[in-house]
Amino acid sequence: MQPKTKRAITAAVLAGALIGVVISVFGGEFQRRLVFDSWQQWAPRSNTSDDVVVVMIDDESVRKKGQWPWRRTDVAALIENIAIAQPAAIGVDIFFVEPDRLDPKNFLALYNEDALAPATRDRVLELPGGDQYLASVIEEAPTVLARVTTTDKTRGIGELTFESIEGKPPEGIAKADYLLTSIKLLDDAAPARGVVDGPPDADGIVRRVPLSIIAGETTIAGFALQIATMTRGGEPPEWTEDGLKLGETIIPSDTSANLEFKMTPEWDANVITALDVLNGKFNVEEMQGKAVIVGFGATGTTDIVATPVASEMQGTLVQAQAVDAILNGHWLSRPGWAQALELAFALALVAMLLAGGLGIAKWLFVPAGVLAAALPIGSFVAYDSAGLLIDPARPLIIALCAVIALVLVRYALTFAELVEKRIVTAEQEKENESARKLQLTMVPSAARLAKLGTRTEIGAVLEPAKSVGGDFYDAMELEGNRLAFLVGDVSGKGLRAALFMALSKSVSKNNLLRSSGDLEAAVRQVNADLMAEEDEEMDLTMLVGVIDCSTGQIEMVNAGHEDPMLVKTDGSVEVVKMRGGLRLRTLDDFPYSVETIQLQAGETLVIITDGATDAMNIKEDRFGLERVMDALGSGGGKSAPDQAKAIASKVRAFERGTDPADDLTILALRYLGNDTDD
């Protein structure tokens, strides 16, 4: 992989990971809610605890006892009956913000002063008020009254009674200057009070309740915590560096001093109707020593909230589950090291993706995939077994962005490489076409060959390959009724080989014409002239010969080329074995030797390049020398041009379905005999 490609991949993966970090930061709350709500829905808390009982004022209770609000004496009777069971705490999740409408004073206000005798009015005023009676019941029972924060400036906290919590709470704890409470008579009578605020998140879902808030300058307890504290025996809670200490238990909180806990969509088994309590139709043991919460759940109540496990749930049941979570440790916590762990997983995934993308260790894609699959599983196990909230979405989002960036950059690089290859291919094709034209224009045509020699017949075929090589042939008349011929094969492909071929052909022809018939001297001079060229990588094979047209005698020099073949008049074919010599441009002053053969009338000398013997079919079988000889044998008696064409046709038929890898060059020289043979 090129450094430029590596830099592009590295930059893309890191940029993608950075985008993932930004997305996970701005969408962190949303993604965490989505994940952790899914865990709650898949594995809600089982409703097996009976430590908390809810007394619900339901539709049946309202139908039997009358519309809400009830007389305070009825509410007092309800709390008295609960207190008989000796619960550890009674939380009243109901607000009595106005005096009893049936208080004696309020009752008399319904009549004109003249309607009742003074004595009657005095006797009515002597009756105990409902609020006073309820206050006395609340005072004697282990009661916790609810409070809630408000923006109503008439609800100041200056005259309220507080149970403060010691220690330093989290920095993000909620602060309030105004509280909505029951009337002062009742609020003051209660042994304890707690804030029921359970503000929903931005998506409208309630996931937590306050452990405490700051009212004015005082840190006070939440409603659920106050009930749990009273149930545990009343030892006051205290904020520590590790969380809220309640007895020997450390309760974790978020940065706003809230408690997030496991929920269940069903709490019916722990609910008793207020009507049954008033009528004494309940088992005292169901409440004895436990936490009891009284709430209003009849039709028309506004205390309905959405939770991760239910789209609608009565607020009293949320408080009950919060109390149970505190008592039994069913809280959820996001430890301080969670974010560092998530980033460590993200870095590990990005590092593995980068190493794989750069080709350093492609096998790392496998563990990266395994880790990515294990993250949500591990997060769920941590939630279900330890109540820990570890966000798998953050590292997965970062890794996903890195993967997308890696795929896009690889696609872009691949596309760029493809475009570059197409450009190179087009340039090569253009170069090959130029080389092909140069190659074909450098060799004599069939018409020109037909005019050479008095008693000879010459035919030649040159078919360039797709990637043009450096094959060439030539023939020329010499003094003394002689004919020179040659076949060469330059190493390499393309325009460079074609140019060197043109040079080699020109040098060879010039030296043959100047040699005055000395073939050995001519070949040596060709080698010397080509050795003088600066391109040291190029060399070539060549078979050059001179035939005496009057006798049929041929002198030949073989410079590393294939041996020629002789086709006799009876159709038999034999290879003319030659000692030969080194390829041209291999060694300066190499002593190339002349070898002589005699052609009889009607015999044909055939010279080929390795493009014929090395031709391959789709099965990668070579055409080979035997097939060349068989083709020549079957063409016995044909003219030299026809024999050359026949061999070329059979080679190309053999190669059908493939791209020829090398040029195909065939030169056939047929001796017709001297004048006496006519």
pLDDT at 437: 72
Low-confidence ranges of the chain (pLDDT < 50): none
d(CA 192, CA 194) in angstroms, rounded, equals 7
Give the tens place of pLDDT for each residue, 163-211: 889 999 999 999 998 899 999 999 999 999 999 987 788 889 999 999 9
Strands 291-296, 89-92: pairing is parallel
CB 210 within 8 A of CB 197: yes
Structural domains of the chain, ranges and CATH numbers in brackets? 46-329 (no CATH), 443-677 (3.60.40.10)
d(CA 577, CA 598) in angstroms, rounded, equals 13
Residue with tokens 């002349």: 594
H helices of 443-468, in order, are 446-450
Q: Which residues in 497-523 are b (16+ Cβ under 10 Å) and which e?
A: bbbbbbbbbebbbebbeebeebbeebb
pLDDT at 106: 64
Q: How many residues does the chain have?
A: 678
Rg of the chain in Å (alpha carbons): 52
d(CA 622, CA 165) in angstroms, rounded, equals 95
pLDDT at 137: 95
Strands 179-180, 212-215: pairing is unpaired
Structure tokens at 291: 């936490």
Give the tens place of pLDDT for each residue, 138-166: 999 999 999 999 888 777 777 777 888 99
pTM over 0.75: no
d(CA 30, CA 203) in angstroms, rounded, equals 9
Give the tens place of pLDDT for each residue, 626-672: 999 998 887 666 899 999 999 999 999 999 988 887 889 999 999 99
Structure tokens at 609: 């390049």
- Chain center to CA of 253: 35
